Amino acid sequence: MSAVRSPETYLLRDMTPADIDDVAAIESRSYEFPWTSGIFRDCLRVGYCCRILCAGEQAIGYSIVSFGASEAHLLNLCIRPDFHGMGLGRYLLSHTLEQVKQTGVKTVFLEVRPSNEIALELYRSAGFVEIGHRRAYYRSARGREDALVLALELEI
């Protein structure tokens, strides 16, 4: 495990095209069916809110949010596996939600695998509630896995 750092040693900034290889590497280390570099490039190209979390010069996490019709969709939030258990997912989610609030958005949605218990606990502890599910949404080693749809009403 990496050394624990205080929050002030982390930098949260806008993602740039130069970050794509690092972000894709984190994604590949984190998921069995990762997003491709092309997907991350497309997110930047269409203007999604793409943020990267760094420890010094090293990318250790990222978040991607799309906006539309007074709502936001948290498309991806990930912390590099060797930085898990340090509260950085909560840190990144908190900052991401603060940025979303500043846009005046009222509701944030996301999908999460029911099998991803750590992410579910993080989102629920932040106030997200389950509002539905999508059948066979995710690829999995056994075919397809449903997604839980979660929502958070923001107080502006």
Tell me, rounded to whole angstroms, the distance of Cα 55 from its chain centroid: 17
| Residue matched to tokens 């999508």 | 134
Q: Respond yes or no: is residue 91 known to be catalytic.
A: no
Choosing from 111, 130, 137, 145, which is the catalytic residue? 111
pLDDT at 17 over 90: yes
Question: In angstroms, rounded to a whole number, what is the distance separating the alpha carbons of residues 127 and 74?
Answer: 14
Query: pTM of the predicted model, to two decimals?
Result: 0.92
Six-digit token string for 18:
């130069």
Q: What is the CATH number of domain 8-153?
A: 3.40.630.30
Question: In angstroms, rounded to a whole number, what is the distance separating the alpha carbons of residues 138 and 144?
Answer: 6
Six-digit token string for 67:
């906006």
Q: What is the pLDDT of residue 41?
A: 98
CB 32 within 8 A of CB 69: no
Q: What is the pLDDT of residue 8?
A: 62
Q: What is the mean pLDDT of residues 8-22?
A: 93
Q: What is the pLDDT of residue 34?
A: 95
Q: Respond yes or no: is residue 57 known to be catalytic.
A: no
pLDDT at 133 over 80: yes
Choosing from 10, 48, 62, 123, which is the catalytic residue? 123
| pLDDT (tens digit per residue) in 108-123 | 999 999 999 999 999 9
| pLDDT (tens digit per residue) in 81-103 | 999 999 999 999 999 999 999 99
CB 77 within 8 A of CB 97: no
Element (H, E) at 120: helix 117-125
Each domain of the chain, given as residue ranges in start order, spans 8-153
Whole-number average pLDDT of the chain: 93
Give the confidence band of 151 by pLDDT, cuts at 50, 70, 90: very high
